[in-house]
Amino acid sequence: MTFLAVRRPNSVGAVTSLFVRKVVAAAGDTVDHPSLLRSVGLDPTGGTDVSQMVTDTAYYELLEAIAARLDDATGFPLRVGASMDCDDYGAFGLAWKTAPTLRGSFERAERFARLLTSVAAYELREDRRGTFLILHREGERRLGMRLSNEATLASVVAIARQVSPQPFTPLEVHCKHPAPASVSAHEAYFG
């Protein structure tokens, strides 16, 4: 069964505030964390609430603003993804951890991704070498979306590495957007 992200042309997409807080934390000390959180409507003193959402546009703008302040934003989405932990995701993370197999974890991600965002969906596609986990994301192709896509793929790998009883390295990682000038950080992270 495939779940694709479909939005009406004028609908507003939503992204969990967990991702916003992880993005801001991964930006390091070069940015004003409280100001960035307030810029998307989050209380800087509040805790992480997976069910609290921000608009996809605000999220992409936040990613773009942070990237503009970094000397080299190439590794930024990888740091965001690497910082993700199953326990951060609440019920979604518990579903990942309690699946009997890594494939079962991916199936649960495919089914329950809507708890975290309305703008992306996962699809599992069988291949003779294994299973592809495909990220579908609708919307305007822009820097913020590219960074979000890379962070999402990096987070899937981070969590797969946490829940898999064997070392996990994806066979392939593909993105529709052009590669950055250097892919060495991506190759080092994904393996």
- What is the Cα 181 distance to its own chain's centre? 21
* Band of residue 2 on the pLDDT scale cut at 50, 70, 90: very low
Q: Looking at domain 14-190, which CATH architecture does it have?
A: Alpha-Beta Complex (3.90)
Tell me the pLDDT tens digit for each residue of 146-181: 999 999 999 999 999 999 999 999 999 999 888 888
Residue 74: what pLDDT? Answer: 93
Tell me the pLDDT tens digit for each residue of 16-26: 999 999 999 99
Tell me the pLDDT tens digit for each residue of 31-83: 999 999 999 999 999 988 888 999 999 999 999 999 999 988 999 999 999 99
Yes or no: say if 133 and 109 are a contact pair by the CB < 8 Å rule. Answer: yes
Tell me the pLDDT tens digit for each residue of 96-155: 899 999 999 999 888 887 778 888 888 999 999 988 989 998 888 899 999 999 999 999
Angle at 25 between CA 163 and CA 165, to 5 degrees: 10
What is the C-alpha separation between 32 and 49, in angstroms, rounded?
Answer: 21
Residue 112: what pLDDT? Answer: 81
What is the C-alpha separation between 156 and 150, in angstroms, rounded?
Answer: 10
Yes or no: say if 84 and 22 are a contact pair by the CB < 8 Å rule. Answer: yes
